[in-house]
């Protein structure tokens, strides 16, 4: 077990740190872009890149690049929605995303405004669709950024901390305990379980927010977005 993890961590750590950081930033930018966000596993790339972190400078650099990448990707999605949304909705992209999924995202943004933008960062699929939907709504870009920036920052530091923490813990224990590899794996298992609980809770909140029988008035929807 330890030998396999050693090989994996050595491969990641031997990679040029600048290249590793840039790749993670590009991956998260693509994940948050509506055009390719459904096929790029940005969160996995970030976790893997985080295991190669050495020192505070690399930690902060990776976190900052991921935040910037996420904000750029979401800004692209917002711009696509603002300028090309209606055409894309009726074209191949809308068909690929699914009318039901888009309608659900529409109702979520319409009824929850900025809160929907914040929550979407932590939900699969939604973090790729909601920026475009927000762009098609009356929400201003400044308002959009005010909600998505703290969400992206929180998300980045959580993922980088887990990846770097798991790798750092393993390196401290591997020379003393044969079961250090299980600790490394256990950290990711516990993190995945916690993520599932959080995402399940947020999805239930999203489902309640998008039920048609709880629709808000148009006036209250506009107020929630501005």
Domain ranges of the chain: 2-225
According to the model, what pLDDT value does residue 141 have? 92
Which segment of 19-23, 74-78, 130-134 scores lowest on mean pLDDT? 130-134
Residue 221, pLDDT > 60, answer no
Half-sphere exposure of 77 (CA within 13 A, CB side): 34
User: What is the tens place of the pLDDT at every residue in 147-181?
Assistant: 999 999 999 999 999 999 999 998 898 888 888 88
User: What is the tens place of the pLDDT at every residue in 81-107?
Assistant: 888 776 666 655 555 555 566 666 666
What is the distance between the alpha carbons of residues 160 and 163, in angstroms, rounded to a whole number? Answer: 5
- What region, left, alpha or beta, does residue 217 occupy, with left being phi > 0 and alpha being psi -120 to 50 degrees? beta
Q: What is the pTM of this model?
A: 0.81
Between CA 213 and CA 223, with CA 217 as vertex, the angle to 5 degrees is: 130
Average pLDDT on 65-74 reads: 94
User: What is the tens place of the pLDDT at every residue in 188-202?
Assistant: 999 999 988 988 887
């Amino acid at each position: 077990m330890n030998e396999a993890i050693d090989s994996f961590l050595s491969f990641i750590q031997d990679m040029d740190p600048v290249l590793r950081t840039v790749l993670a930033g590009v991956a998260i930018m693509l994940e948050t872009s509506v055009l390719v966000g459904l096929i790029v596993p940005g969160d996995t790339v970030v976790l893997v890149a985080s295991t190669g972190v050495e020192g505070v400078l690399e930690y902060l650099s990776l976190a900052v690049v991921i935040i910037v990448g996420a904000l750029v990707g979401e800004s692209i999605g917002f711009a696509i929605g603002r300028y090309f949304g209606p055409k894309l909705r009726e074209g191949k992209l809308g068909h690929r995303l699914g009318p039901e999924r888009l309608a659900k995202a529409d109702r979520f943004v319409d009824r929850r405004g900025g809160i929907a933008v914040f929550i979407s960062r932590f939900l699969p699929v939604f973090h790729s669709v909601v920026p475009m939907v927000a762009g098609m709504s009356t929400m201003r870009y400044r308002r959009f950024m005010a909600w998505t920036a703290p969400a992206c920052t929180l998300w980045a530091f959580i993922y980088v901390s887990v990846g770097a923490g798991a790798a750092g813990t393993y390196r401290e224990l591997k020379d003393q305990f044969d079961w250090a590899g299980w600790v490394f794996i256990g950290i990711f298992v516990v993190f995945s379980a916690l993520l599932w609980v959080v995402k399940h809770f947020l999805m239930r909140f999203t489902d309640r927010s998008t039920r048609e029988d709880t629709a808000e008035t148009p006036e209250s929807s506009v107020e929630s977005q501005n």
